[in-house]
Every structure is written in C-alpha cells, then in structure tokens.
C-alpha cells in the first residue's frame, strides 16, 4: 500500500491544470445506456472511480474505450447483454446506482445491487427509488438488490418532489425521465454544475430538458435518444482543493481551467479568510501574500452553498488561522474523520455531532496520519504543505479515487512531496 510524504517547504508558485469532474463523469457515463448510438466524453479524468464505472458498464455488455491516455471515453451500449449490476462491483462505488434509472427507462427492467454503507454517512438510496416509482416503476428489494420493472409501454412522466436535495437521485430521475412517456417535473432538484453538465449532454443526445441548474427541472420524454460528443465540465472540487494549496503554504498559484462561477460561495469564504482570488483568461489565480489567515465560519449546503466535498480541505486551512472557526457539516452525518488526524499534527479541534470548532495554532507539526476517505486524504496532504517536518499520509488509495497526479501537480508548484510504496 502506498503512502504520500509531504514536507513543509514554504510558499508555492506556478500553475496547476484542473481535470474534468469525477462527479460529472460518473453520471455522464451511464447516460450511454439510454441510447443505441455512441457517446464520446472528452476531458475525462483518469481516476480509479472512472475505471470502476467502466468495469460496471462493460459487465452489462457496453463497450467502453479509453483513448488519448484515458482523457477520451468512447462509449456504446447498442448490444447490452445484461441489466444486472452485481454487488461485487457496486460495493466498490456508490455511484454505481446511477445505472438504475437509464437501464429501467431504456430496457424496462433492471436489477441493481444496493450500495451498502459508507464511511461518511448512511447514504440511503430511498429518494432514487421514490423518483422511479413516481414514473410508474415497480420496485422490489430482495437479497440486497433492487429489482425494478417499468409498466407496460415504459416509464410514464410524473411529479418527483424531493423532500431533501439529492445530487444522485436528481441525476437518476433526470436520466430516466428523458425516455418516459409525457412530462416529468423534478421539484427540489439538486442544482450542482454536474447536473447542468448532464442535462447539456442529454440535450445533445436529443432530450427535451429545461430548468437545469434551478430547483425545478422539466423533462418532455422522447421515443429515442441519439449519440453525442461532450466535454466533461471542470472539476470544481479538485479546483477548490488546489486553490487551498497557496492559501495554506503561502505564495501564488494559478489553477488552469477554473472559473469563479464553479466555486462562488467557496471564493466568498476564502475572501473572508484573507485569501485573494483573481480570475485570469486561463483560470483562477490564488494568493496569500502575507499575514495569517483569518478564522471564518463555514456551513456546508447543496449548491450554490459551500460544498461538503471541500469541508475537510477548508478545515486544514483553518487549523492555522488567527482565531476560532466553526464548521457545520449539514450534508453527511459522519464527515469529520479527518479531525483526529489533523489533531495528531497539533491542531486544536473540538467536534460535537455535526459541528467542529477549530482554534487556530501557529504551526502544525508533521506526523504519520491515516486517510479515511477521499476528501479527508487530500486535506491531510494540504495540512502537510505548511507543517514543520514530514507528514506521512497512509492509505492513499482513497486519494486515487478522485485526484489524478497529485504528486506531479503539487511538486510542479514547488511542494516537497513524494509517493512511496510500502512493502
């Protein structure tokens, strides 16, 4: 198992290219199941989660080719052999549930393993199921699988009214509604840029969608969908993560491909903390010239609020801020597992339920720490950029799920970082 060793090495400078979004690609790939025509995704990120989705789609009989060193995905599902998503693949990645809506809409039936538990929270899929039931699906949960059946003639348009905002359930409902007979209204829909990116791709395939990016999405079902070529939107979470590198270590870094629009509320929080963010023709330039970071309070919310996927990284910044910050995690019930690891580095953090109080210290000290999930792992690397001495982050397989070339990207702006294999 690999570890990453980071040594505090002073201010950073240079450029970091931001890849296509994992969380967009993971919903764009299953969209191929809605059509017999080829779908080509460009600007695809090279991540283990994308490889897991590839394995899942191939297990159903879809063709998935990774071209151009994996940055282009050529997908086709014209000759599907199965509509059963096996537990062995689904247990590796919860986003596998995103094949359920498209399979049901296109083939009228599907068997998809339930994803099971997750480190950051219970993460049920009840809203996904209720959305499909609102389109006339019959669902039966048995032996750990969802057995889904569409009514005769296929899914029907309906009203999907989510009691709480869910990114995944909105994506499943949106994809299923494109082939449902009649009109579907998705109320209290998620507004994330990944949802807008999915809608854009589906529109290119011939879907009739309006209201994407707002809380109410309307879909007019069509008979069939065609093919398309679609560029995956920039990864706003990778973007936010690397924007925090110069904020934590000092210096100035330009994140290529970033736009304020993708990270508006995050930029407002950085501004309040004394970090300058400037839009350039090629990206976002972030700098912390002098002085200490100011303490700020953060509450995670669905888009356009502060993203939960940047909460751990933000906590790493606030560990050395001037004053006390309060972070409230409103999306997931167990997403502070990075806190005890940051405390091993000398941070002062008090966690009570969904609230963490971070009292800034002058400097963190390097230590061996353990990654517990994807975003927690990168927050420990960020903390190590400004810590005294060496930080050794273990279990970095979590990181590979959502970040490509971390060592190359950070050492490219002057960080002292390496990946080592433990025998």
Task: Give the catalytic positions in this structure.
Answer: 118
* Residue 207 binds ligand EPZ, judged by CB under 6 A: no
Contact predicate 277/260, CB 8 Å: yes
Rule CB under 6 A: choose which of 374, 380, 381, 415 binds ligand EPZ.
Answer: 374
Whole-angstrom Cα distance, residue 309 to residue 179? 32
Whole-angstrom Cα distance, residue 101 to residue 336? 32
Nearest approach in angstroms of CB 198 to ligand EPZ is: 10
Judged by CB under 6 A, the number of residues near ligand EPZ is 24
Nearest approach in angstroms of CB 329 to ligand EPZ is: 10
Closest residue to ligand EPZ, judged by C-beta, is 168
Nearest approach in angstroms of CB 157 to ligand EPZ is: 21
* Residues in 165-194 at the binding interface with ligand EPZ, rule: CB under 6 A: 166-169
**406: enclosing H helix or E strand:** helix 406-411
Residue with smaller CB distance to ligand EPZ, 125 or 296: 125
Whole-angstrom Cα distance, residue 180 to residue 171? 15
Residue with smaller CB distance to ligand EPZ, 30 or 402: 402
Q: What is the DSSP pairing of strand 12-17 with strand 63-67? A: unpaired
* Residue 217 binds ligand EPZ, judged by CB under 6 A: no
Give the residue carrying structure tokens 């990207």. Answer: 409
Nearest approach in angstroms of CB 10 to ligand EPZ is: 29
Nearest approach in angstroms of CB 338 to ligand EPZ is: 12
* Residue 100 binds ligand EPZ, judged by CB under 6 A: no
End-to-end Cα spacing for the chain: 7
Nearest approach in angstroms of CB 290 to ligand EPZ is: 33
Task: Write the CA distances from 234 to 71, 73, 277, 279, 398, integer angstroms.
Answer: 13, 16, 17, 15, 21
* Residue 54 binds ligand EPZ, judged by CB under 6 A: no
What are the residues whose beta carbons fall under 8 Å from the beta carbon of 340, sequence distance 6 or more?
A: none
Rule CB under 6 A: choose which of 43, 76, 269, 308 binds ligand EPZ.
Answer: 308
Nearest approach in angstroms of CB 126 to ligand EPZ is: 5
Whole-angstrom Cα distance, residue 65 to residue 71? 10
Whole-angstrom Cα distance, residue 154 to residue 106? 8
Contact predicate 10/250, CB 8 Å: yes
Rule CB under 6 A: choose which of 145, 242, 332, 336 binds ligand EPZ.
Answer: 332
Nearest approach in angstroms of CB 303 to ligand EPZ is: 7
Count of other CB atoms within 10 angstroms of residue 12: 26
Residue with smaller CB distance to ligand EPZ, 60 or 374: 374
Whole-angstrom Cα distance, residue 341 to residue 42? 37
* Residues in 238-297 at the binding interface with ligand EPZ, rule: CB under 6 A: none
For residue 356, give the nearest of 294, 275, 271, 299 by alpha carbon: 299
One character per residue 105-144, x = contact with ligand EPZ (rule: CB under 6 A): ----------------xxxxxxxx----------------
Rule CB under 6 A: choose which of 5, 31, 75, 95 binds ligand EPZ.
Answer: 95
Contact predicate 374/350, CB 8 Å: no
Residue with smaller CB distance to ligand EPZ, 127 or 177: 127
**197: enclosing H helix or E strand:** helix 193-204
Residue with smaller CB distance to ligand EPZ, 47 or 293: 47
Q: At what angle do helices 167-177 and 100-107 cross, to 10 degrees?
A: 10
* Residue 45 binds ligand EPZ, judged by CB under 6 A: no
Whole-angstrom Cα distance, residue 361 to residue 387? 11
Residue with smaller CB distance to ligand EPZ, 131 or 295: 131
Whole-angstrom Cα distance, residue 148 to residue 277? 48
Contact stretch for ligand EPZ (CB under 6 A) within 140-148, 161-169, 336-344, 354-362: 161-169
* Residues in 397-416 at the binding interface with ligand EPZ, rule: CB under 6 A: 402
Rule CB under 6 A: choose which of 141, 164, 260, 272 binds ligand EPZ.
Answer: 164
Residue with smaller CB distance to ligand EPZ, 5 or 57: 57
List residues binding ligand EPZ (CB under 6 A): 23, 26, 94-95, 121-128, 164, 166-169, 308-309, 331-332, 374-375, 402
């Amino acid at each position: 198992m690999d570890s990453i060793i980071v040594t505090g090495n002073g201010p950073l400078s240079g450029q970091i290219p931001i890849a296509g979004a994992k969380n967009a690609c993971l919903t764009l790939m299953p969209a191929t199941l809605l059509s017999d025509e080829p779908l080509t995704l460009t600007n695809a990120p090279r991540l283990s989660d994308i490889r897991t989705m590839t394995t899942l789609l191939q297990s159903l009989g879809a063709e998935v080719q990774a071209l151009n060193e994996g940055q282009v995905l050529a997908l086709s599902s014209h000759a599907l052999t199965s509509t059963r998503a096996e537990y062995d693949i689904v247990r590796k990645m919860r986003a596998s549930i995103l094949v359920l809506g498209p399979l049901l809409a296109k083939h009228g039936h599907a068997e998809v393993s339930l994803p099971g538990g997750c480190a950051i929270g219970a993460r049920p899929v009840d809203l996904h199921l209720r959305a499909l039931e609102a389109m006339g699906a019959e669902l039966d949960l048995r032996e750990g699988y969802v057995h889904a059946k569409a009514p005769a003639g296929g899914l029907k348009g309906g009203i999907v009214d989510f009691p709480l905002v869910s990114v995944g359930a909105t994506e499943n409902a949106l994809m299923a509604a494109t082939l449902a007979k009649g009109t579907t209204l998705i109320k209290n829909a998620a507004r994330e840029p990944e949802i807008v990116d999915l809608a854009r791709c589906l529109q290119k395939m011939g879907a009739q969608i309006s209201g994407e990016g707002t809380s109410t999405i309307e879909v007019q079902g069509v008979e069939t969908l065609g093919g398309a070529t679609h560029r995956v939107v920039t990864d706003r979470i990778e973007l936010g993560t690397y924007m925090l590198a110069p904020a934590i270590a000092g210096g100035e870094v330009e994140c290529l491909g970033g736009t304020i629009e993708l990270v508006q509320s995050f930029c407002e929080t950085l501004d309040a903390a004394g970090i300058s963010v400037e839009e350039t023709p090629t990206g976002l330039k972030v700098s912390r010239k002098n002085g200490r970071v100011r303490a700020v309070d953060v509450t995670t919310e669905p888009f356009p609020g502060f993203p939960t996927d940047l909460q751990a990284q933000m906590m790493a910044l606030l560990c050395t801020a001037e004053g006390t910050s309060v972070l409230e995690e409103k999306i997931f019930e167990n997403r502070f597992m990075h806190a005890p690891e940051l405390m091993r580095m000398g941070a002062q953090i008090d966690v009570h339920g969904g609230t963490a109080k971070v009292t800034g210290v002058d400097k963190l000290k390097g230590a061996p720490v353990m990654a517990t999930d994807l975003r927690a792992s990168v927050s420990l690397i960020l903390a190590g950029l400004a810590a005294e001495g060496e930080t050794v982050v273990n279990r970095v397989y979590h990181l590979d799920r959502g970040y490509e070339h971390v060592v190359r990207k950070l050492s490219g702006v002057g960080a002292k970082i390496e990946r080592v294999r433990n025998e």
